[in-house]
């Protein structure tokens, strides 16, 4: 079994990704979030473990991480501090694989737009992760929608973001998270923009 730890498991993309993970029979999930009762509908699933915790709590993160194959983080708020705690906990527990949701615009890669301070938490967290020795993949989606479709393309750091005016589905982002978490060696130490395609 592949064991995935989802930090920020009540997030909208995370909930879609949880559904996709559970459609496979070779994945166990630990869902880590501040108020576990929000996902109580999953409590009876034998492949799901609910853990109530804060993404800045180093001791709590270190306690939950052993035994997992990958960490997928989907956060908001003080993302720089959260990223520092997650990176440190992973390094101290020997966990290597991190998939982290960020935002388009953190490298000023959107043609014709200069992103303001609203993206600072995303920039800070990406800088922390990129400075680490982890096997990370940072995902920078465009504006999101809830269409039940998988239609996306990617760009790498240093490339202009494609189709920044078009929304991309949360299901598309979750599909890429699933691929990254279950395919060893895929897009290691890369930052990928995710845009609508098709």
Name 103's Cβ contacts closer than 8 Å, sequence gap at least 6: 119, 122, 140, 141
For the full predicted model, state whether its pTM sits above 0.95.
yes
CA neighbor of 168 nearest in space, from 145, 148, 138: 145
User: ∠100-179-28 over CA atoms, to 5°?
Assistant: 80
- SS3 of 110-134: the string is CCCCCCCHHHHHHHHHHHHHHCCCC
- Listed residue (92, 84, 82, 32) closest to 62, CA to CA: 92
- Residue 112's pLDDT band, with cuts at 50, 70 and 90, is confident
Inter-residue contact 100 to 79 (CB < 8 Å): no
**pLDDT band at 52; cut points 50, 70, 90:** very high
Q: What is the pLDDT of residues 55-71, one digit of tens each?
A: 999 999 999 999 999 99
Identify the band that residue 115 occupies on the pLDDT scale cut at 50, 70 and 90: low
pLDDT in tens, 144-162: 999 999 999 999 999 999 9
**Is the pLDDT higher at 112 or at 104?**
104
CATH class of 2-196: alpha beta
Q: Specify the DSSP class assigned to residue 161.
A: P
Euclidean distance between CA atoms 12 and 15, whole angstroms: 5
pLDDT of residue 117: 85
Residue 75 pLDDT exceeds 70: yes
């Amino acid at each position: 079994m592949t064991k995935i730890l989802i930090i920020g498991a009540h997030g909208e993309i995370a909930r879609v990704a949880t559904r996709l993970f559970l459609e496979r029979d070779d994945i166990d999930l630990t869902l880590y979030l501040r108020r576990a009762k929000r996902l109580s509908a999953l409590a009876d699933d034998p492949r799901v473990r609910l853990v109530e915790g804060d993404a800045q709590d180093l001791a709590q993160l270190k306690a939950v991480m052993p035994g997992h194959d990958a960490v997928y983080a989907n956060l908001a708020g003080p993302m720089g501090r959260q990223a520092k705690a997650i990176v440190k906990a992973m390094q101290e527990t020997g966990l290597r694989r991190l998939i982290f949701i960020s935002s388009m615009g953190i490298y000023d890669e959107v043609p014709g737009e200069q992103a303001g301070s609203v993206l600072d938490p995303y920039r800070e967290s990406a800088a922390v992760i990129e400075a680490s020795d982890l096997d990370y993949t940072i995902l920078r989606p465009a504006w999101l929608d809830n269409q039940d479709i998988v239609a996306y393309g990617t760009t790498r750091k240093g490339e202009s973001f494609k189709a920044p005016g078009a929304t991309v589905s949360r299901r598309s982002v979750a599909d890429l998270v699933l691929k990254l978490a279950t395919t060893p060696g895929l897009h290691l130490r890369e930052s990928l923009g995710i845009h609508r395609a098709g």
